[in-house]
Amino acid sequence: MKEYHIGDRVIRVEVGDITRQSVDAIVNAANRTLLGGGGVDGAIHRAAGPELLEECRTLGGCETGEAKITKGYRLPARYVIHTVGPVWRGGTAREPELLRACYENSLRLAEERGIESIAFPAISTGAYGYPKEEAARIASDAVIGFLKQARSVHTVVFVLFSEPDYRLYVRVLDERVV
Ligand code: APR
């Protein structure tokens, strides 16, 4: 685990299972139906229990780059912020802009609820095939930029699912945060 300080705000990077994070909100890498799936989406729905899907059914889906919020139910986290990352199509279909929007819109939604701590998985880098290094740079830049003017959010956790992904985020953040 490694921590970076942006003023009085904190970015923490660690390896783990995001469903076990005791933060105010965890972010789900969902699909546009918001009706569950595999990967982190599947893990979050399994850990949260069936009420999560029931609430998701009322949301009417979610566009790529957008974010919607639900309760966390049986998760330690109070909220789940569902966002839909872009499918990687070679980088000429606004993927960078849409991926950045996932982070910014999730953080904006967290601020609206007065959320103080939020954990992100590596959105779009699994089934959606986004190149991991480019995605880590987009995630880091979006979060660092947001924390410089955040009001309620003071801790952002990047939860990686493997050591190599963790080391990549540490390298990318070491480059950005002195
Ligand atoms: N905790 C943290 N990270 C996890 C976990 C977990 N429990 N499970 C998987 N991950 C990591 C993966 O290793 C990957 O780095 O989350 C990242 C995102 O991978 P996916 O879950 O495949 O998400 P994504 O690439 O955004 O694809 C979304 O997959 O599960 C479906 O319904 C989802 O259709 C949507 C698509």
CATH number of the domain residue 47 falls in: 3.40.220.10
Residues sharing a CB contact under 8 Å with residue 171, sequence separation 6 or more, in sequence order: none
Is a pLDDT exceeding 90 seen at residue 150? yes
**Does any ligand 1 atom lie closer than 6 A to the CB of residue 133?**
no
Reported as type and span, the H/E element at residue 10 is: strand 9-15
Q: Is the pLDDT assigned to residue 76 strictly greater than 90? A: yes
Per residue in 35-58, pLDDT (tens digit) is 999 999 999 999 999 999 999 999
126 C-alpha to ligand 1 centroid (Å): 5
What residue numbers bound the domain in which 129 lies? 2-176
The domain total for the chain is: 1
The minimum-distance atom of ligand 1 relative to the CA of 165 is 15
Region at 39 (left for phi over 0; alpha for psi -120 to 50; beta for the rest): left
Check if 122 has its Cβ closer than 6 Å to any atom of ligand 1: yes
Spacing, Cα 111 to ligand 1 middle (Å): 24
Q: What pTM, to 2 d.p., does this model score? A: 0.98
Q: For 84-131, what is each residue's pLDDT tens digit?
A: 999 999 999 999 999 999 999 999 999 999 999 999 999 999 999 999
